[in-house]
């Protein structure tokens, strides 16, 4: 009998020890928008958590590392601070995502505080932005006042924290305000040198190589803004030309030693520049310099593919081959309305205002300009929603509806950085013009 009792307590002890290494996440979502939550670490999904018909979910994870996580309930996402052994219970309403999000259980205090920090910054944002044109003295006083209030509130708030929690929350408090300073300097560029000197103390307080924050968007956005101001030239200004962006690359090269942060920032600058630059000779030079600085093979391959697709999607080139659904079959984009002039536009049923505007314009243009075929390409995955959203809304047989078979592949070939893009081809499938929806009517009037 004594042996059985000892054995029982040993089992309990073992289970208790094991549970210390488990992290529990559960909760309830009111009006869920889909049937799962995704938990991510460093932008990689580590767990898909199912939501039942009542909006309830629950999971446990072994040996989770302390740090900053994301949870996603499409189309929304939010940050979590998780320490091994936490038992977080979430409750939220998807119609009022951030404002309704509340945590309870072990590990709740730090996460409730983090959400409050985000919401307080949102409340302050309009007020701070309205003072971007104030004198630097007034603007500094505003930043100082907000900093003092937020830091005091955090120091007065009594909850158990650790290095990771403090690091994340402190930077969540500081970075939005320091980002406002960078924006203030950008907007008041005529006094760039004086403003840089005046705000120098604040601009040197943030370490730019904190590995624990390498996937924290606020942190990366701040460094991106700082790269703009550090690459400013009184002679050239913020004109986002080739030389300016080469200076930004060199700033990242010289100031960022953390490989993850460096890779992310270089990739961002490359995409920002390449998606706007029109001159291939400038793009060639940028790519040459970029590949000398970037040492991440995946990013270099990705940027090289973008470069190749940009060179192929040019006026005078053949319209790229893309696979599209046409009702219930797959067609090649180059085989659509052969021997006719074609206009390609893009839409999503998740962007209602854009969809309504696009459909209205295409109906008008198709009646007015009978020498063109209008091809509407939907970027979503749900076939039924796609068909329901365009059904009975077009009455001209020169308006054709398609859906991308593989959005990622199609968007790369189309360099689809926004849904206002319009591509026009002649009756041989050669690209004649690439423009925006707002400029389409003017082009049609003249052609």
Digit-by-digit pLDDT tens for the chain (447 residues) are: 444 434 433 333 434 444 567 899 998 988 888 888 899 999 899 999 998 988 899 989 888 889 999 988 888 889 999 998 899 999 988 878 878 889 899 989 999 999 999 999 999 999 999 999 999 999 999 999 999 999 999 888 766 678 889 999 999 999 999 999 999 999 998 899 999 999 999 999 999 999 999 999 999 999 999 999 999 865 555 555 899 999 999 999 999 999 999 999 999 999 999 988 888 999 999 999 999 999 999 999 999 999 999 999 999 999 999 999 987 789 988 888 888 999 999 999 989 999 999 999 999 999 999 999 999 999 999 899 999 998 888 878 899 999 999 999 999 999 998 899 999 999 999 999 999 999 999 999 998
The tokens describing 49, both together, are: 């958590």
Q: Class for domain 323-446, per CATH?
A: alpha beta
Q: What confidence score (pLDDT) does residue 371 get?
A: 93
Closest to 407 measured CA to CA, from 418, 395, 394, 416: 416
363-376 burial, b if ≥16 CB within 10 A, otherwise e?
A: bebbeebeebbbbb
User: Does domain 18-106 sit in CATH 2.60.40.10?
Assistant: yes
Closest among 282, 219, 290, 278 to 252, alpha carbons compared:
290
pLDDT, residue 75, reads: 83
Tokens at 248, concatenated: 């930004």
Q: How far apart are CA 58 and CA 26, in angstroms?
A: 4
Query: Can you give the pTM of this predicted structure?
Result: 0.85
Which pLDDT does position 2 carry in this prediction?
43
pLDDT value at residue 9: 39
Residue 138 CB partners (closer than 8 Å, separation 6+): 131
Do residues 269 and 251 lie in contact, with contact meaning Cβ atoms separated by under 8 Å? no
pLDDT at res. 158: 65
pLDDT attached to residue 354: 94
Cα 114 to Cα 52, 107, 207, 215, 436: the distances in Å are 27, 12, 20, 16, 40
Cα separation, 294 vs 100, in Å, equals 41
- Token readout for 181 is 């300073």
The two tokens of residue 46 are 């580590």
What pLDDT, on a 0 to 100 scale, did the predictor assign at position 172? 96
| Secondary structure element (H or E) that encloses residue 24, with its range | strand 22-30
Q: What are the sequence ranges of the domains in the chain?
A: 18-106, 158-312, 323-446
């Amino acid at each position: 009998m004594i042996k059985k009792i000892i054995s029982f307590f040993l089992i309990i002890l073992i289970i208790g020890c094991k549970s210390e290494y488990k992290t529990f996440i559960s909760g309830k979502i009111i009006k869920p928008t889909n049937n799962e939550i995704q938990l991510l670490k460093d932008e990689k999904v580590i767990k898909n958590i199912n939501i039942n018909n009542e909006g309830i979910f629950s999971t446990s994870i072994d040996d989770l590392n302390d740090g900053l996580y994301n949870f996603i309930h499409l189309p929304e996402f939010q940050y979590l601070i998780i320490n091994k052994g936490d038992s977080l219970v979430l409750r939220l309403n998807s119609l009022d995502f951030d404002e309704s999000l509340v945590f309870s259980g072990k590990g709740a205090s730090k996460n409730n505080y983090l959400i409050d920090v985000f919401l307080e910054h949102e409340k302050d944002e309009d007020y701070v932005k309205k003072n971007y044109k104030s004198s630097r003295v007034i603007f500094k006083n505003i930043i100082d006042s907000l900093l003092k209030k937020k830091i005091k509130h955090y120091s007065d708030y009594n909850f158990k924290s650790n290095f990771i929690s403090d690091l994340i929350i402190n930077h969540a408090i500081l970075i939005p305000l320091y980002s406002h300073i960078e924006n203030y300097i950008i907007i008041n560029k005529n006094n760039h040198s004086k403003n840089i000197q005046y705000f120098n103390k604040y601009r040197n307080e943030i370490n730019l190589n904190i590995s624990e924050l390498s996937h924290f968007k606020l942190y990366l956005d701040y460094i991106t803004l700082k790269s703009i101001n550090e690459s400013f030239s009184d002679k050239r200004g913020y004109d986002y030309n080739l030389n300016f962006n080469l200076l930004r690359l060199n700033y990242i090269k010289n100031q960022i030693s953390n490989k993850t942060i460096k890779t992310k920032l270089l990739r961002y600058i490359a995409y920002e520049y390449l998606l706007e630059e029109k001159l291939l000779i400038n793009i060639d030079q940028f790519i040459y310099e970029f590949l000398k600085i970037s040492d991440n093979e995946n990013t270099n391959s990705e940027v090289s593919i973008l470069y190749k697709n940009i060179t192929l999607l040019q006026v005078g080139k053949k319209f790229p081959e893309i696979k599209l659904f046409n009702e219930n079959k797959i067609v090649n984009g180059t085989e659509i309305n052969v021997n006719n002039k074609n206009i390609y536009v893009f839409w999503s049923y998740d962007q209602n205002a854009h969809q309504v505007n696009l459909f209205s314009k295409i109906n008008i243009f198709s009646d007015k300009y009978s020498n063109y075929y209008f091809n509407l390409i939907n970027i979503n995955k749900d076939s039924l929603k796609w068909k329901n959203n365009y059904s009975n809304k077009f009455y001209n047989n020169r308006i054709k509806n398609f859906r991308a078979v593989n959005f990622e592949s199609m968007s790369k070939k189309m360099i689809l950085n926004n849904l206002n893009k319009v591509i026009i081809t002649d009756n041989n499938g050669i690209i004649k013009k690439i423009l925006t929806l707002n400029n389409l009517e003017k082009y049609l009037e003249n052609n």
